[in-house]
Structure 1
Amino acid sequence: MAPGVDESPLLAASSKPSAAAASPPHRNKYPFFGAVLASMTSVLMGYNVAVTSGAQIFMAEDLGISDEQIEVLSGAINIYSLVGALLAGWTSDRLGRRLTIVLTNAFFLVGPLVMALAGGYAALMAGRFVAGIGVGYALVIAPVYAAEIAPASSRGFLSSLPEIFINGGVMLSYVSNFAFSGLPIHLSWRLMFAAGVVPTVFLAAGVLAMPESPRWLAMKGRRADAKLVLDRTSDSPSEADHRLHEIEHVVAASSNSGGCGGAWSELATNPGVRRVLATVLALQFFQQASGIDSVVLYGPRVLAAAGVSSNTLLLGLNVVFGVAKASSILVAMSLTDRLGRRPLLLASTGAMTLSLAALATAFAAGAERAAVVVVAFVVAFVCAFSVGIGPLAWVYSSEILPLRLRGQGAGVGTAMNRVVSGVVTMTFISLYGAVTMAGAFYLYAAIAAASFVFVYACLPETRGRSLEDMEELFHTK
């Protein structure tokens, strides 16, 4: 093996002649293995974003934090994540996808520990800042890695893994909120944050066994290493050869255009590149602007407005929302490579519009007398989100970006996602205070309706196409 080659067990196995000669299974397990490990960062991301949903009840009482401070603390992690999102593209292009995942987990180790030990609001914000950088990194690197390691036959499924892992992390944070809620107030919320450190220990060992992205290896001129990974992550030897040929062709085209700087300069001259970036930015905007994080981070407040007064019941119903949201993504994962991206996105945005309008109408009609109706419509909303635009915004964005722009383009798209999420979460309490719960959810319903129109008018189907084929589809060559 040439110097500088990654000595992971996966690559070591691929260097054996017998492995290359053997007939591979129709659906290869190796890309699944790598995508799962990369997506574990998404568990940590989901946990750190959503843990304040229940912890805020106890922090406010223990430290005397106001509603305005809670609103800023809950939403600031999304603004802080801009730092990580914008750095992640640069880091992943220079250090590689694997080392970027290692760095991501370091932020998720330090941030929650700082918050768990915080003695006041300033320390909480400092810990939230560190965790926020990790959130930005995770949102960029997990879908990029999954898309680049996967063969076309399972790319939709594997690229959906980060989203289900995010929701798994959200659900775990709700379970943590519920499990520690019975402890003394000064201890309960600290353990909620500290529990988020545990998964980083297991992930640290797993990352060492991951293969590096074959596309990144090819970008760095490491053709032999890229071929070893492709041999183990493709459905057949001929597919591995075909993927390598396509990657090399795109890398050569990128080099001829002047590298990354030349690629970004195409914005002024290449309508296809402008269309791709506009599509990514719009899709990420609509994913968050329809208000999903208002439910994720303020579920107990929404339920309290519907007449639920018991803290135990509030946190228990929050777990129900988390289970519904996470389990619905399994539907998206099972159907995206069968039905395609476009049908699921249309069904998702349409159902979100209807459920949000119904939720708003329930509040307008006096939801405090029918809490069960509010719970039903919230569940319908999170299920509709998770079966389509939740996971597929990341899948679609990672697919259509050209290789020469994928790392930094994903960072820009993630920055849009986090800015919008930050605005939504940092204004929700003030918004419903000004226009009522009904008005807030009618606004979100209107945005969801606009997202349906956008998907219908602007998004072509990408199912079954190789990543390199996207350049033809969007005319970015």
Structure 2
Amino acid sequence: MGKELIIWIWIIVYVVFFFLFSFHTLSTLILTRTTNGGRQRQTNLSHSPQHLHSPLRTSRFRHLHSSRLRSVPHSLTPFSFSLISLIDHNLPLDADIGVMSGAALLIRENLKISPLQEEILVGTLNVFSLIGSLASGKTSDCIGRRYTIVLASFTFLLGALLMGLAPSFAYILCGRMVAGIGVGYALMIAPLYTAELSPAMTRGFLTSLPEVFITVGILLGYIINYSLTSLSQHIAWRLMLGLAGLPAIAIALGVIAMPESPCWLVMKGRIPHAKRVLQRISTTPEEAELRLHEITKAAGPNPDNWRGQGVWKDLLIRPTRPIRRMLVTAIGINFFMQASGNDAVIYYCPEVFRATGIHSKKQLFGVNVIMGIAKSSFVLLSALYLDRFGRRPLLLLGTFGMAVSLSSLGLGSRILEESTSKPLWAVVLSIVAVCADVSFFSIGLGPITWVYSSEIFPSRLRAQGSSLVISVNRLVSGVVSMTFLTISEKITFAGMFFVLAGIMVVATGFFYVFMPETKGKTLEEMETLFEDNDNNRYEKKETEMDAP
């Protein structure tokens, strides 16, 4: 009892420290960067006359003017803290990933299920989240972003209750199907809602926060698993799965106090309401007016009573050149995010390390906790510097680092698979490589996928475009989760990790060729950015010049 009490005290202290540190760092980051960075870049522009003549650069100048408006002493409004505290709309997924990695091990032993059934159990949530992802775009365009979040929360809560009270494998499966639909809704709407409320200079940080909360939730799930291992198996896994639904209640209640997306309000023709929201979330009346003008212009003429008609035609049947490039880039980053195998590594980490010779449940779950601490630390670091260094450099660093880490993990696993003595250095190498893999994922693909997917599409296509690419994300996640153990049995865990390393090498090349930098761009400037390759090359050069 004393050990469990110490663990729960540690959880509370860690969470409180994490949130206080995030809030303090965010306020310092925004105040410093918008004041100094905006003034510095504005000065640079004033000394470059030719910079003002290109249409793209004129657009850039307008954005920097809006950044200057934001560089006031009180640039972090009280609303920002409310936004941060409620941005964890992805907590349902993070709680599930964290607890399922341990619960699957206990369910397998308690209900005597096969490895194939375990794969189906884990992957079902990801496959059914595809339904929520596909439906979320149309739903959010019809009922609004806020009520879509409420719908996602209660759907996941219902699924968590079914899993926690399940008397058999079939009932757990049904619960994961229902929870998966809620997760699909949440994964699309969280970054989209955040991006539409955030100013351009801090959009990367704020939109990456759902991934931060996913990572912290995974860590808390690991710690909960570790603290419940002393209970009997049939009680422990039910508590693990049932408790994952608690955050959904807080999210559903809290989001009611949040404002609706001004982009959605403008598309519905509710301009006065959108103006009031922008005045609430902006730091000056001038900034609110400027953002309203940009959103109204991007929405096009006659937005009243818009219901999303013609969106799929513009996205898939007759896309313009910029839209086509947006789709290729967004689908690519979502594909590689899940093809990296990160979710599978997290879900099946106990199985991987059991194969290395670690058999104690306490030790297996302890390795998970170490991995969770590394993952949560690096995702916060990435979020803090995403708007400073840009999306592209961090993504390239992350994917290349994952390729090296997965190769090291494959090497360590191969040595342990072929050795009967299980050398300690190979075990340590495997643990370090796993921690490095999830850390590099948290630097690059983890947060940047959500940021990029939610910010590059024009306003009238944003919900459906995000819905489409997140659906690809969930489909690939489901396939990887439901085949990871089967493929590993055929080619060994080491072989699987070498394959994943090769995929990350391909991903690095893809991002280098196709991904333009979006740092500092307003949502309304994205279509110009994707117009042609010359503009993309200009953006890369400008990013290099701006980098410290």
Instruction: Report the TM-score, using the length of structure 1 for normalisation.
Output: 0.91
Are the structure 2 counterparts of residues 398 and 117 from structure 1 closer, same or farther at C-alpha, using a change threshold of 3 Å? same
Are 1:87 and 2:135 matched, yes or no? yes
The structure 1 residue matched to 2:290, chosen from 239, 242, 253, is 242
Distance of 1:447 and 1:28 partners within structure 2: 42
Question: What is the aligned partner in structure 1 of residue 237 from structure 2?
Answer: 189
Amino acid at match of 2:175: G
The structure 2 residue matched to 1:53, chosen from 101, 123, 126, is 101
Name stretches of at least 5 consecutive residues in structure 2 with no aligned partner.
Answer: 1-71, 533-548
Distance of 2:271 and 2:301 partners within structure 1: 16
For 1:37-436, what aligned pairs fall within 5 Å after superposition?
A: 37=86, 39-252=87-300, 255=303, 260-266=308-314, 267=316, 268-366=318-416, 368-369=422-423, 370-436=426-492
Distance of 1:216 and 1:353 partners within structure 2: 40
Distance of 1:408 and 1:97 partners within structure 2: 12
Distance of 2:248 and 2:413 partners within structure 1: 41
The alpha-carbon deviation at position 263 of structure 1 amounts to 3.6
Amino acid at match of 1:71: E
Amino acid at match of 1:76: T
Amino acid at match of 1:449: V
Question: What is the aligned partner in structure 1 of residue 82 from structure 2?
Answer: 33
Do the aligned residues in 2 keep the contact of 1:58 with 1:185 (CA within 8 Å)? yes
Question: What is the aligned partner in structure 1 of residue 63 from structure 2?
Answer: none
Distance of 2:523 and 2:81 partners within structure 1: 17
> What is the CA deviation profile of residues 218-270 of structure 1, one whole-angstrom value per residue up to 9, with x for unaligned ones?
111111111111112124322211110011011125859x9733343234251
Distance of 2:189 and 2:244 partners within structure 1: 19
The alpha-carbon deviation at position 61 of structure 1 amounts to 2.2
Q: Determine helix, strand or coil for the equivalent of 1:249.
A: helix
Q: Determine helix, strand or coil for the equivalent of 1:25.
A: coil
Do the aligned residues in 2 keep the contact of 1:260 with 1:404 (CA within 8 Å)? yes
Distance of 1:28 and 1:392 partners within structure 2: 25
Do the aligned residues in 2 keep the contact of 1:345 with 1:388 (CA within 8 Å)? yes
The alpha-carbon deviation at position 35 of structure 1 amounts to 4.7
Do the aligned residues in 2 keep the contact of 1:81 with 1:418 (CA within 8 Å)? yes
For 1:450-465, what aligned pairs fall within 5 Å after superposition?
A: 450-465=506-521
Distance of 1:316 and 1:141 partners within structure 2: 33
Do the aligned residues in 2 keep the contact of 1:355 with 1:378 (CA within 8 Å)? yes
The alpha-carbon deviation at position 24 of structure 1 amounts to 7.2
> What is the CA deviation profile of residues 335-384 of structure 1, one whole-angstrom value per residue up to 9, with x for unaligned ones?
11111111101111111111111111222233642211100000000000
Do the aligned residues in 2 keep the contact of 1:275 with 1:474 (CA within 8 Å)? yes
Distance of 1:360 and 1:315 partners within structure 2: 21
Do the aligned residues in 2 keep the contact of 1:51 with 1:174 (CA within 8 Å)? yes
Percent of aligned positions that are identical: 45
Name stretches of at least 5 consecutive residues in structure 1 with no aligned partner.
Answer: 1-22
Are the structure 2 counterparts of residues 451 and 31 from structure 1 closer, same or farther at C-alpha, using a change threshold of 3 Å? same
Are the structure 2 counterparts of residues 263 and 475 from structure 1 closer, same or farther at C-alpha, using a change threshold of 3 Å? farther
Amino acid at match of 1:399: E
Distance of 1:415 and 1:49 partners within structure 2: 18
Number of matched pairs: 452
Amino acid at match of 1:386: S
Q: Determine helix, strand or coil for the equivalent of 1:447.
A: helix
Distance of 1:254 and 1:465 partners within structure 2: 25
Do the aligned residues in 1 keep the contact of 2:295 with 2:524 (CA within 8 Å)? yes
Q: Determine helix, strand or coil for the equivalent of 1:261.
A: coil
Distance of 1:87 and 1:24 partners within structure 2: 42
Q: Determine helix, strand or coil for the equivalent of 2:411.
A: helix
Amino acid at match of 1:394: W
Question: What is the aligned partner in structure 1 of residue 35 from structure 2?
Answer: none
